[in-house]
Amino acid sequence: MEKLTSIEKYNLEEYELETAQKQDLKQLLKVCLENMDNVDEVSITNAFKLCYMSHQGIKRASGEPYYYHPVEVAKIVANEINIDDISVIAALLHDTVEDTDVTLEDIEYWFGKQVAVIIDGVTKITGVFKSRDSKQAETFMKLLLSMAEDIRVILIKFADRLHNMRTIQHLRREKQIQIASETMELYAPLAHRFGLFNIKNELEDLCFKAIDPTSFKFVARKLREKKEAREEFIDEFMMPVGRQLRQQHFNFEIKGRPKHIYSIYRKMQRQQKPFEEIYDLFAIRIILEDPHTKEDCWRVYSIITDWYTPIPERFRDFISVPKTNGYQSLHTTVITNRGKKVEVQIRTRRMDDIAEKGLAAHWKYKEGEQAGSASLDRFVNWVRDVLDNPRPDSSTDFVKDFQLNLYQDEIYVFTPTGELKTLPKYATPIDFAFEIHSEIGERAMAAKVNGKMAPLREKLKNGDQVEIITGNKINLNPDWIDDVVTHKAKSRIRQFIKQKQRKISEEGREIWIKRAERGKVEISDQELTKIAKRFKYETTQGMYYDIGIGALDPNVLFKEVKKYKSTGRLEDDPSETTSKTEEQIQESYFNAARSIGDGNALILNGEVTNVKYSYANCCNPIPGDNVIGFISRNGDIKIHRSMCNNAQHLLKTESDRIVDVQWAKNIDNKFLGAVKVIGEDRVGMINDLTDVLSKSLSTNMKSINVSSDEGMFEGIITLYVDGISHLNKIMKRLEKVAGVKNVLRYE
């Protein structure tokens, strides 16, 4: 019997949905109609039917029918990105080509070429992610390549990842951490660059919740506790301003949004301050409804500053000079009569749409079918520019550079003719030169900043006018690699360094060949590679390079080659030793991984399941902390706190070596912890602190370091604790010491 095609198998026109699915479809169409001007209800209905029928019988990790996932992704696309109905259709069908018998040809037949192209792009990205051999960096590059073809590919991928993060609790913990880390490093920065701030913020919070649930719950609880007081303050703050705005016939909305949880936590860590001392926990946003214009935003700013004193250095005008991702708003921080600092953002409804939904929102405002958004075009051109530039040999370097550009705050500088250029914060004249043109960057000799000669490595500031003085020859300096911040500059300097290294290696090779000819010795490349490893070189190129710079005497190499040619072997043959060591390492590595078992946590209490472990000195985890483990090359496990910077780096670079670890219920060991104490510098303060620790709490100290300035002191106390509850008890007790203002855990 001949096999039915998908078109014959799935008769979309005549298929009747069941009651539950009809309800799901009704909800989706409602979201679409509320958020988009033009909705092809027939095509969305048919796409829903195909999604449901083709995924029948398939379950997610949560046990839910699989079709729930693409339907939720489509709702995110409609509600939070809301570009067009084509994106909604593609979102409904984004998994069909990969996971079912539906083909791209079927999709094109039913829904047109545009939908098929988008689904093809999403499928290619998904295929890369599922490949166990691919590293995150390589995945990221392919992601960008797909994105550059049709921006809707990456927007659907954002929605797909957001729903996966919302349901991540159904996966094993080590898988949660792996996916959360990838999301934090790749998706969140890219969402930031697109201006999808709502999605970026939610992704970061969900990642934070997966990686360090204890800290997440702490900040979330603190925000809930302060919610009522926060709302009362906003009402009180806005009362006189709102009255005056209404008197002047402004049509406006006021929002008092708390900062998202992860950003508050990062601020606490960066400033080493407790939650109570972070003043900008929320921002008041004033949104002017149509037909108000940007001139009206300035009028509102004038009214606010009539009532409250502005802090000049905290003023930002993103209306006159929008961010690269199209973001526009006036930002100011003012001080109330009670001395409280408040951040206020002023924008129009259109500006707010773009701020919330990024460049995707430009689609709502474009004039006619063919007219594209200038900001959208600039962004896509920026991506293509990055992809067209020479890539570093290391994919990880590519991602590192790219992320740097994604997350950096921006500065605005001018060419000598007054043309505005946007660069990442901390950019130098070298970055500026490459931004103008690659040849100018390569031939840069000196710079003038605001009419005065300045070093090429000097950090530029907002408003600087920069002129680059060039020579006739390439003047690249390898040392610039640590000073530049843009991908374009870094990639070209890396390329130059590699070229220089290759040239030196070639010179070293010529020196060796002449020495070998003079001594009348012939040796094959394979044999010479063995001898290179005898000298601890991975390849002969590294050995030639050291000969070229004079770090390896060719006569020493010649003696080793002569010895090898006469005996036919090397003493302690490094190739055999290396091979054996690698086998031992791999065997130990996989034994360690196997001993932990698929999805079973390693309980930290002695040498469980024959796996040795140790605690990372960088973050000093203690019982009660959220922790993760990394399998070292020799099979040992290194335990880190989940949010430790080094752990985050390892998650980026070697996520396949992550393991889930949990604390045992009863642990007798003592652990190293540290607290930071801030207070009044008075006589006897140190004695009072040490008395509390030694007498009241019977806690042993390892060290105490104190500094004082203008009547205040700051002390770092390192001590031995049983776990997180013991440390919290110590902190609460120290807070009661007379003159102590703050006590917090020290990192």
Write the pLDDT tens digit of every residue in 251-274: 999 888 778 899 888 888 877 778
Q: What is the mean pLDDT of residues 570-591?
A: 46
pLDDT of residue 298: 94
Q: Which of 11-25, 59-73, 660-674 has the highest mean pLDDT?
A: 59-73
Look at residues 523, 531, 527, 524 and name the one whose alpha carbon lies nearest to residue 557. 531
99 included as an active-site residue? yes
Give the CA angle between residues 109, 111, 115 to the nearest 5°.
110
Q: What is the mean pLDDT of residues 31-44?
A: 89
Q: Which of 204-213, 370-379, 548-557 has the lowest mean pLDDT?
A: 370-379
Question: Looking at 40, 99, 149, 296, which residue is catalytic?
Answer: 99
Number of H helices, E strands in the chain: 31, 20
Query: b/e per residue, 412-427, with b = 16+ CB within 10 A?
Result: bbbeeeeeebbbbeeb
Alpha-carbon dihedral sign for residues 257, 263, 269, 270: negative
Note the CATH number of domain 6-210.
Answer: 1.10.3210.10
Token pair 């079918």: residue: 369
Question: Looking at 98, 356, 410, 688, which residue is catalytic?
Answer: 98
**Same topology for domains 6-210 and 220-364, yes or no?**
no
Give 445-501 as a DSSP string. Answer: EEEEETTEEE-TTPPP-TT-BEEEEE-SS----GGGGGT--SHHHHHHHHHHHHHHH
pLDDT of residue 475: 82
Token pair 């044999």: residue: 527
Look at residues 487, 471, 391, 416 and name the one whose alpha carbon lies nearest to residue 439. 471
Residue 729 in 3-state DSSP? helix
Q: What is the number of other CB atoms lying within 10 angstroms of the CB of residue 661? A: 22
Q: Which of 35-49, 114-128, 219-233, 254-268 has the highest mean pLDDT?
A: 35-49
Tens of pLDDT along 459-480?
998 778 899 988 888 888 887 8
Task: With a cut of 50, say whether residue 128 has pLDDT above it.
Answer: no
Task: With a cut of 70, say whether residue 361 has pLDDT above it.
Answer: no
Look at residues 217, 225, 210, 223 and name the one whose alpha carbon lies nearest to residue 161. 210
Q: What is the mean pLDDT of residues 574-594?
A: 44
Report how far apart, in Å, the C-alpha atoms of 440 and of each of 91, 144, 430, 445, 455 are. Answer: 44, 27, 9, 9, 16
- pTM reported for the whole predicted model: 0.66
pLDDT of residue 375: 54
Task: With a cut of 90, say whether residue 286 has pLDDT above it.
Answer: yes
Residue 28 CB-half CA count within 13 A: 32
Q: Which of 367-381, 408-422, 499-513 has the highest mean pLDDT?
A: 499-513
Q: Which of 88-102, 394-408, 440-454, 595-609 has the lowest mean pLDDT?
A: 595-609
Q: What is the mean pLDDT of residues 161-186?
A: 89
Task: Report residue 369's pLDDT band, with 50, 70 and 90 as the boundaries.
Answer: very low
What is the spatial distance between Cα 114 and Cα 108, in angstroms, rounded to a whole number? 8
What is the spatial distance between Cα 512 and Cα 504, in angstroms, rounded to a whole number? 12
Amino acid at position 644, single letter = C
Q: What is the number of other CB atoms lying within 10 angstroms of the CB of residue 90? A: 31
Q: What is the number of other CB atoms lying within 10 angstroms of the CB of residue 305? A: 14
pLDDT of residue 429: 94
Task: With a cut of 50, say whether residue 585 has pLDDT above it.
Answer: no
Q: Which two three-digit tokens encode residue 585?
A: 């390492």
Alpha-carbon dihedral sign for residues 344, 347, 349, 354: negative
Give the CA angle between residues 250, 252, 255 to the nearest 5°.
150
Q: Which of 114-128, 138-152, 176-190 has the highest mean pLDDT?
A: 176-190
pLDDT of residue 70: 95
Segments in 535-641 forming alpha helices (H):
540-549, 554-567, 574-596
Q: Which two three-digit tokens encode residue 692?
A: 């509390």
Helices 213-225 and 227-247: crossing angle in degrees, nearest 10, is 50
Q: What is the mean pLDDT of residues 116-129?
A: 73
Q: Which two three-digit tokens encode residue 538?
A: 């991975």
Task: Report residue 398's pLDDT band, with 50, 70 and 90 as the boundaries.
Answer: low
Give 428-444 as a DSSP string. Answer: -HHHHHHHH-HHHHHTE
Higher per-residue confidence, 356 vs 248:
248
Look at residues 716, 628, 714, 721 and name the one whose alpha carbon lies nearest to residue 673. 721
pLDDT of residue 140: 60
What is the spatial distance between Cα 188 and Cα 333, in angstroms, rounded to a whole number? 26
pLDDT of residue 520: 85
Residue ranges covered by each domain of the chain: 6-210, 220-364, 577-663, 671-745
β partners of residue 715: 677, 706
Q: What is the number of other CB atoms lying within 10 angstroms of the CB of residue 591? A: 14
What stretch of H or E contains 252? strand 252-258
What is the spatial distance between Cα 71 and Cα 85, in angstroms, rounded to a whole number? 13
Percent above pLDDT 70 for the chain: 80
Domain 220-364 CATH class label: alpha beta
Task: Report residue 31's pLDDT band, with 50, 70 and 90 as the boundaries.
Answer: very high
Amino acid at position 170, single letter = H
Q: Which of 402-406, 410-414, 514-518, 544-548 has the highest mean pLDDT?
A: 514-518
Q: What is the mean pLDDT of residues 522-548?
A: 83
Alpha-carbon dihedral sign for residues 92, 98, 104, 109: negative
Task: With a cut of 70, say whether residue 373 has pLDDT above it.
Answer: no
Q: What is the mean pLDDT of residues 611-633?
A: 79
Token pair 């709302």: residue: 231
Q: Which of 97-111, 571-585, 722-736 has the lowest mean pLDDT?
A: 571-585
Kindly give the pairing relationship between strand 602-604 and strand 658-663. Answer: parallel
At the fourth CATH level, the homologous superfamily of domain 671-745 is ACT domain (3.30.70.260)
pLDDT of residue 608: 45
Residue 420 in 3-state DSSP? strand
What is the chain's mean pLDDT, rounded?
A: 80
Q: Which of 34-48, 254-268, 367-381, 406-420 has the highest mean pLDDT?
A: 34-48
